[in-house]
Amino acid sequence: MSASGTAAAGQVEHMLRQVAPGRYDAYEALLHALADGKVWMLLWHGQAGSPDAQYGNMEVEGYGYAPCVTSAQELSVSGWNRGYEVVGGLDVARSLYPDHYGLWLNPHAPGGGVGVPWLDLRRIADGLSAQPAGPLRMTDPTIELPQFYALLTQNAHRTAAVRALRRAWVQPVLGAPYLAIGLDVYDTSPGSVDAVRAMMRQSIGAVPEGLPVSTVAMADPHDPVALWLRANARPFYDRDAQASPAPAAGGYGYPAQY
């Protein structure tokens, strides 16, 4: 491994040692180190680069994880006697999260290591700044915004691409809370996307200054806000007038400690 690769791996181990219950700042720093670093993926079958290579897997609190170690030294300490593959954290994240698998760092370590849920791997894959830091606390909004909702509903009715709108108040573990608007659209063609963006631009002026507003695509199968909205929030605008919330679900891939 190159000197830069060794340094990146060392940063992962350094940040891993800082993680503790409630230390979300340290956990977020670990995610940044993972995005730039490398891990030693433990192979249950095959060797690195072989067609039959298969990551190991483990289950924690009902969620799947692929185990890894953070350095050649940790590999030796772990006693792992099968194959392994040194992979960039970004590549691992892109490989695992679509199958709802997380990454477990140094499961052999005292205390059992640290698990990174698939939702956080998705954040790494998409860019950590693009998604709020989880776990997210989501509730129905309590701030009264009748003018904004009325204007947004009016503009949505004029925008043929929009099927329904939902809303949630989202509180990340780090950063400011914000109002999320869930966009349920009939199609995602460029014209429809442009029309929906124009709808939001025309409506956002009715939001009080200083109140952050974000949008989320309801069709996104991996977004925790979209998952919560589908399970818990009745649309406040529904072109088809067929609003019925699904049964509530919890967890969304986060172990109890994160």
Q: What is the pLDDT of residues 208-225, one digit of tens each?
A: 999 999 999 999 888 889
Of 178, 161, 147, 162, nearest to 237 (Cα)?
162
Overall domain count for the chain = 2
The CATH number given to whatever domain includes residue 91 is 3.40.1350.90
8: pLDDT confidence band, cut at 50, 70 and 90?
low
User: Who wins on pLDDT, 50 or 31?
Assistant: 31
Q: DSSP secondary structure string, 109-162? A: STT--EEE-HHHHHHHHH-GGGSPPSSPEEE---S--HHHHHHHHHHHHH-TTE
Whether 86 contacts 48, CB under 8 Å: yes
Structural domain contains residue 20 = yes
- What's residue 9's pLDDT? 54
Q: How does pLDDT run across 70-106, given as a tens digit for each residue?
A: 999 999 999 998 889 999 999 999 999 999 999 999 9
Whether 82 contacts 40, CB under 8 Å: no
The 3-state DSSP class for residue 170 equals strand
Same domain assignment for residues 90 and 169? no
Model pTM above 0.85: no
Examine the fold and report which residue of 77, 109, 130 is the final residue of a domain before the chain moves on.
130
Same domain assignment for residues 8 and 123? yes
Same domain assignment for residues 142 and 26? no
Mean residue pLDDT of the chain comes to: 87
Whether the pLDDT of residue 135 is over 90: the answer is no
High-pLDDT (> 90) share of the chain, %:
66
Q: At what angle do helices 24-36 and 89-96 cross, to 10 degrees?
A: 100
